[in-house]
């Protein structure tokens, strides 16, 4: 494959026109859409209109007139289309960490309220050692808070299925691993969890907008995910939460099933009732006032993904990640890189990672050359391929830049050695 072949592939790419919808700076190849999605051009106008007209002129009237109050459900319903959920099962709110706290608590309460059929206590949360740290902190924090003898059991990627047994209350997994891009089999693991009587919580932070997800086809119980990665919602965008309809119907009688009981999760917030009565819908997963400006930016980001279509995005993502692996292994052979992502595209999300003993400095030198990826401790170079705005020629150029950085020892320069707060 030569660069011209990549240019030809871009010319035939049905998604090529999507790139123009993003405000990317000249001279930058952006391979970090898995950490912070690029800015859709339409976002600035949308946010400006919201601030100047809806807020500036409409003032408080805009909660109704501009439908601000509907944003968490409206954007949630759009995300539902990307994750195989029903529109009534998804709400946008808070951060991924906080949503995880809510659903994990619900899941443990559901298990506690079931009649016990065995002498063994069902009190284990199974997760992965290499899960995103916030997921593990939230789970351990909840275990400590409850003080009911739950145990957070962490195992390797391949050991999850074999660990699930009659003591497992909840299996909590991130579908696509943030560091390696390795993807779990959602259907098989959910079914394994259910077979053992456990409930299944999925974190879709690196899946939503990147790979097709079929939560209901897999019979998933709960899910959470991030708005600022492949959904292009902007820095700190609100997250989303999914609760399967069958559970929403079943938990109506458990007033505090969602532990962060707040006024906007109330059945009738504007009754200002001193007694908490949760909404009998996904609305009960709301806590306080939604972040309206951020939600409007997120809606524009989600629209960019919906317009392209998740299946077309996945097909291009596989082509780009496969090409990057091939080119890097060909052009950077013998330069200390080894593939840290699954080689089989079926088992990989939309990112490719290589390990290198000096990964931090190598990534800084690449960024200096205009190829923006990121570093994950201790030794991972991470490249995310958002097919909305990354093309085949970008992949070629990025692989060449990596070759130059390594072959010319550019990464050894002193300026690339100091670590900043955010890597």
Ligand X SMILES: *Cc1c(COP(=O)(O)O)cnc(C)c1O
Among 62, 106, 111, 174, binds ligand X (CB under 6 A): 174
Q: Which residue has the tokens 């391979």?
A: 31
276 is catalytic: no
CA–CA separation, 122 and 115 (whole Å) = 11
CB 205, min distance to ligand X, A: 3
Cα torsion angle, 35, 38, 42, 43, sign: positive
CB 174, min distance to ligand X, A: 4
Site string for ligand X, 77-96 (x = CB under 6 A): ------------------xx
Among 213, 239, 308, 388, binds ligand X (CB under 6 A): 239
Closer to ligand X by Cβ: residue 226 or 260: 226
Of the listed pieces 105-113, 202-210, 319-327, 397-405, which binds ligand X according to CB under 6 A? 202-210
343 is catalytic: no
Closer to ligand X by Cβ: residue 95 or 355: 95
Inter-CA distances, 226 with 28, 210, 223, 247, 298, Å: 24, 12, 11, 22, 10
CA–CA separation, 200 and 192 (whole Å) = 10
Contact of 315 with 14, CB cutoff 8 Å: no
CB 308, min distance to ligand X, A: 22
CA–CA separation, 347 and 162 (whole Å) = 19
Q: Which of 22, 30, 132, 178 is catalytic?
A: 132
Closer to ligand X by Cβ: residue 89 or 374: 374
Closer to ligand X by Cβ: residue 96 or 321: 96
CB 350, min distance to ligand X, A: 13
**CA 376 to chain CA centroid, nearest Å:** 16
Contact of 353 with 289, CB cutoff 8 Å: no
Listing DSSP states for 22-62 in one string gives B-PPTT-EE--TTTSPPPBHHHHHHHHHIIIIIITTTGGGH
Of the listed pieces 52-60, 127-135, 208-216, 293-301, which binds ligand X according to CB under 6 A? 127-135
Cα torsion angle, 202, 102, 36, 127, sign: negative
206 counts as binding ligand X under rule CB under 6 A: yes
CA–CA separation, 167 and 278 (whole Å) = 30
178 counts as binding ligand X under rule CB under 6 A: yes
Among 69, 86, 88, 97, binds ligand X (CB under 6 A): 97
User: Which residues belong to the active site?
Assistant: 132, 203, 228-229, 382
Which positions touch ligand X (CB under 6 A)?
95-97, 132, 134-135, 174, 178, 203, 205-206, 226, 239
């Amino acid at each position: 494959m030569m660069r011209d072949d990549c240019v030809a592939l871009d010319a035939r790419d049905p998604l090529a026109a999507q790139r123009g919808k993003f405000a990317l700076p000249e001279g930058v190849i952006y391979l970090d859409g898995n950490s912070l999605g690029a800015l859709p051009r339409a976002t600035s106008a949308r946010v400006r209109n919201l601030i100047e007209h809806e807020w500036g002129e409409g003032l408080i009237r805009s909660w109704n007139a501009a439908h601000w109050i509907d944003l968490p459900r409206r954007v949630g319903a759009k995300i539902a289309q990307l994750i195989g959920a029903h529109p009534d099962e998804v709400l946008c709110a808070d951060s991924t960490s906080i949503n995880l706290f809510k659903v994990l608590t619900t899941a443990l309460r559901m298990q506690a309220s079931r009649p016990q059929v065995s002498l063994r206590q069902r009190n284990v949360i199974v997760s992965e050692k290499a899960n995103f740290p916030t997921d593990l902190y939230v789970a351990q924090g909840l275990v400590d808070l409850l003080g009911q003898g739950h145990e957070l059991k962490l195992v390797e990627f391949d050991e999850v299925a074999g660990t699930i047994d009659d003591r497992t209350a909840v299996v909590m997994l991130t579908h696509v691993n943030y560091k390696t891009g390795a993807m779990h089999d959602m259907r098989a693991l959910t079914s394994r969890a259910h077979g053992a009587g456990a409930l299944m919580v999925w974190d879709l932070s690196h899946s939503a907008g990147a790979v097709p997800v079929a939560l209901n086809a897999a019979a998933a119980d709960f899910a959470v995910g991030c708005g600022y990665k492949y959904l292009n919602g902007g820095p700190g965008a609100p997250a989303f939460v999914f609760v399967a309809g069958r559970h929403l119907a079943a938990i109506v009688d458990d007033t505090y099933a969602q532990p962060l009981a707040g006024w906007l999760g109330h059945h009738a917030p504007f009754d200002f009732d001193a007694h908490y009565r949760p909404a009998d819908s996904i609305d009960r997963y709301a806590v306080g006032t939604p972040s309206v400006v951020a939600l409007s930016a997120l809606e524009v980001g989600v629209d960019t993904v919906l317009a392209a279509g998740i299946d077309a995005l996945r097909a291009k993502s596989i082509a780009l990640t496969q090409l990057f692996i091939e080119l890097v292994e060909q052009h950077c052979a013998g330069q200390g890189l080894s593939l840290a992502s699954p080689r089989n595209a079926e088992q990989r999300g939309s990112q490719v990672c290589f390990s290198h003993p000096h990964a931090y400095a190598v990534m800084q030198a690449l960024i200096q050359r205009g190829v923006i990826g990121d570093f994950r401790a201790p030794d991972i170079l991470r490249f995310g391929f958002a097919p909305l705005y990354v093309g085949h020629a970008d992949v070629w150029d990025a692989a060449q830049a990596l070759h130059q950085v390594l072959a010319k020892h550019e990464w050894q320069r002193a300026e690339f050695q100091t670590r900043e707060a955010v890597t």
